[in-house]
Chain A
Amino acid sequence: MNGTVVKNQLIFDFASGILGPAKSLFASTYLELNSDASKIGNIFENMLGENLMDNENIHPKNLKYTDCMNNKNIKSDSNLKDPVTSFFGNLNNLNWKQVYKGFKEYTASIDDKDELKLIKMDPGVSVPLHSHGGKEYILVLEGSFCDEYGKYSRGDIQINDQKIKHTPIASKDTGCVCMSITEKDVIFFGKFGSFLNLFTFIKSFFKQK
């Protein structure tokens, strides 16, 4: 599976404005934290800008340039913040829900088919082996984690599909805060079966050291 293509697809879909609100927030944060992704996004927006230069002309019927100079809805100085702060405010003030010791999450109230969550893991905490029903996108906001496939630091994303099983572990020094998008429920493996959700699974079987 070519992860690069999936990442590019996310960037291009964002650049062209076809993502839903959850993924738009995710992708804009990704572009903010990751300069490589930002470059790709810029290049693609330049290409789309070229398309605009060559676009056909459909003249607006009732619009003159003077109408655009007296539009009070547009303010010249909005206080721009980064996407995470502007949506969530200070992360420390969020009503985090503890899933198990050392693992907290916060689900954003976004009306979308995709679910967007923030995940906070204390240093050294791990997530039991699992896979995914749909795609899962994880973006590291602070700290880092590693799994069987590598180490992921601030600005890195991991995109997981049904074929991937992994056991992420938060960095022993820093822990990590991530943003995640899930398209469908996570599936657990092992003798406990896939019908268990994360919460009950952890509650029943996961003993925090």
Chain B
Amino acid sequence: MEKSNLNDLMKRIQKDRDEMAFSQIFDFFASKVNAYFIQNRIRFESAEELTQEVLSTVWVKSHLYDSSKSALSTWIFTIARNKKIDFLRKNSKINFKEEDIREFLYQDREIDLIEENEARKQIERINNELDEQQKIMIKMNFFENKSHKKIADELEIPLGTVKSRIRHILTKMQEFLR
């Protein structure tokens, strides 16, 4: 689905509580979010419960989404990521309040958040600089949360190479932001 279509659907949810629009958002994202949890080694049943929570959040808190600040997929990714952190945290005895502090980052704040198109340009620039292997490493390391060791095993390259290449990517990203 095109991004502009997704944004239109989201607008219909925000304005009119349009259930058909939500069903389309659900059809597009539920299986991807569910896959994300499973990729992050969360058991099947729990993954499904978390997926429900993520999509429920999209429906219930649709007013918190601002298309000028981030792409819809980014917003949904951060909700899924936060659910994952909370889920993993529930097994320990940490005394966090239920409310998710990270959602605060997506509220209106006075600091100037980058505009969507500025972010887009920077991502394009970064993507142009990274080769295929580096992109795969970003995905494996930061999206699927695989260890450097596991990445080295799966790509069949030395561990030292993985470490230095990821380090190189991080340095490069900093250069783009100057």
Contact = CB atoms under 8 A, between A and B. Distances in A.
A84 B132 CA distance: 39
Contacts of B19: 65, 69
Instruction: Using C-beta atoms within 8 Å of the partner chain, give the interface range for chain A.
Output: 35 or more
A36 to B, nearest CB: 7
B114 A48 contact: no
B53 A73 contact: yes
Contacts, number: 209
A169 to B, nearest CB: 28
Contacts of B70: 42, 45-46, 49
B48 A111 contact: no
A3 to B, nearest CB: 11
A106 B46 CA distance: 36
Given A49-B74, A68-B26, A39 B177 contact: yes
Contact of A43 (B77, B112, B114, B141): B114
Count chain B CB atoms within 10 A of each CB in A17, A80, A111, A112 and give the residue with the most: A17
Contact of A21 (B3, B32, B89, B142): B89
Count chain B CB atoms within 10 A of each CB in A21, A49, A51, A76 and give the residue with the most: A49
Nearest to A27: B102
SS of A interface (majority): helix
B43 interface: no
Given A68-B56, A74-B57, A87-B97, A52 B80 contact: yes
B24 to A, nearest CB: 9
B113 A52 contact: no
A86 interface: yes
Nearest to A17: B81
A87 B97 CA distance: 7
A184 B58 CA distance: 40
Given A43-B119, A52-B76, A80-B99, 4 more contacts: A32-B109, A44-B142, A46-B119, A60-B52
25 contacts: A2-B171, A4-B171, A5-B171, A28-B104, A28-B105, A40-B173, A42-B70, A43-B177, A44-B173, A47-B138, A52-B80, A53-B32, A55-B32, A57-B35, A59-B34, A60-B34, A63-B30, A68-B56, A71-B60, A80-B99, A80-B107, A82-B101, A83-B101, A87-B101, A111-B92
Contacts of B99: 78-80, 86
Interface of A: 2, 4-5, 8-9, 12-13, 15-18, 21, 24-25, 28, 31-32, 35-36, 38-53, 55-63, 65, 67-69, 71, 73-76, 78-83, 86-87, 109-112
Contacts of A56: 32, 35
Nearest to B84: A17
A63 B161 CA distance: 42
B109 to A, nearest CB: 8
B102 A51 contact: no
B119 A68 contact: no
A9 B142 CA distance: 10
A81 to B, nearest CB: 7
Contacts of A52: 29, 32-33, 36, 73, 76-77, 80, 143
Contacts of A62: 48
A4 B113 CA distance: 21
A75 B34 CA distance: 22
B128 interface: no
